[in-house]
Amino acid sequence: MTTLSFAKINIFLKITGTCGSYHMLLSRFMLLKELFDSISFLPKTKNSSEFLLKGNFNCDLEQNSIYKAYKELLKTEHKEKIVKFFNSYFIEVDKNIPIGSGLGGGSSNAASFLLFCNEELELNLTKEKLSQIAIKIGSDLPFFIHEYNFANVEGVGEKVFCFEDKKLNLEVKTLPISCNTKSVYTHFRKNRLNEIDLKLAKELKGLKSEEILTNYSPFSLNDLFNSTLALYPELNEHVKDGWFLSGSGSSLFRIKNV
């Protein structure tokens, strides 16, 4: 049994404020179906209570987003059913979405895991309930839970509104740099919090994605761009010719010339 875990692009990402240690945002997410990880659920050779997860990860099991999603599911009324299933099955992830690239790979993995478990184990959890579980793991997860092609995402990521838009033909390149999201947000809060532009954020919310990418500059669309460059200056030589930054990572994108 295999499920696909798609990447995402942030067409724009505007910080709208803070709430304690969290950052409030308004962002347009686009599902990037051309790039995905494959998550397989395979039978164990021998039943065991150990949660087995295989894949090319750069973190310990306890820090892995899929494992965190598993632990959150165990807090629901379906614990017995979930434990029974994973006594017999292990997970293997074929990673294609680069880690620390701003493409949401870890969040997508966890969301796909939750969606698979909900369907395969007949947990009958609504999208809203799954989103409530997902936001405890990461701010990007609710977007992936809803499975929209485009969405405006607000708050700390928990508010997801479907946005009707046409598919964009994008060119995406990911540089061999793993950007730390927490470090980028910390730099922004310390150095650029006074640059928040709520008027522009609200303006972008209603515009089509192609219109946004055609009429606005990369730095005006992503509030984390300058902080990412400050922490990872090796990105500077690639930031030209209309390349936009996705999230807080090292992936750049632009509309393909036809």
Q: What digits encode the pLDDT tens for the residues 184-218?
A: 989 988 888 888 889 999 999 999 999 999 999 99
From 37, 140, 165, 223, active-site residue: 140
Same domain, 13 and 109: yes
Query: 117, 144, 162: which is the final residue of a domain?
Result: 162
Same domain, 114 and 185: no
Active site residue 173: no
If pLDDT is split at 50, 70 and 90, which confidence band does 16 have?
very high
204 and 79 co-located in one domain? no
Is 120 in contact with 82 (CB distance < 8 Å)? no
Query: Among the options 8, 14, 37, 223, which is catalytic?
Result: 8
The model's pLDDT over 46-72, given as tens digits with 9 standing for 90+, comes to 888 888 888 888 777 778 899 999 999
Residue type, position 94, single letter: D
Instruction: For residue 140, indicate whether it is catalytic.
Output: yes
Q: What pLDDT is recorded for position 33?
A: 94
Q: For the chain, how big is the Rg over CA atoms in Å?
A: 19
C-beta of residue 98 within 8 angstroms of C-beta of residue 174: yes
Clarify whether residues 228 and 209 are in a common domain: yes
The pLDDT tens digits of the residues spanning 140-182 come to 999 999 999 999 999 989 999 999 999 899 999 888 888 888 8
Q: How far is it, in rounded angstroms, from Cα 60 to Cα 163? A: 36
Among residues 162, 196, 228, the one where a domain terminates is: 162
Structure tokens, 62: 């306890």
> Would the pTM count as exceeding 0.85?
yes
Number of domains within the chain:
2
Distance between CA atoms of 213 and 242, rounded to whole angstroms?
Answer: 9
Return the closest-CA partner of residue 170 out of 4, 1, 5, 7.
7
Which domain CATH number covers 102?
A: 3.30.230.10
195 exposed, middle or buried (CB, 10 Å; 0-12, 13-18, 19+)?
exposed
Which of the 8 DSSP states describes residue 134? H
Q: Which domain holds residue 211?
A: 170-255
Q: How far apart are CA 53 and CA 40, in angstroms?
A: 10
End-to-end Cα, the chain, rounded Å: 38
Q: How many helices, marked H, and strands, marked E, lie in the chain?
A: 10, 9
How many Å apart are CA 137 and CA 72, to the nearest integer? Answer: 8
Q: Kindly indicate the confidence band of residue 253, based on its pLDDT and cuts at 50, 70 and 90.
A: very high
- The label of the residue with tokens 């709208």 reads 16
Q: Are residues 58 and 184 in the same domain?
A: no
Q: Are 216 and 14 in contact (CB under 8 A)?
A: no
Cα angle for residues 152, 154, 157 (degrees, 5° grid): 105
CA pair distance 168, 170, nearest whole angstrom: 6
C-alpha to C-alpha distance for 77 and 99, rounded to whole angstroms:
33
Residues 44, 130: one domain? yes
Query: Do 224 and 146 have their domain in common?
Result: no
Of 133, 162, 191, the last residue of a domain is 162
Q: Are residues 123 and 193 in the same domain?
A: no
pLDDT of the residue at 133 = 94
Check pLDDT > 70 for residue 73. yes
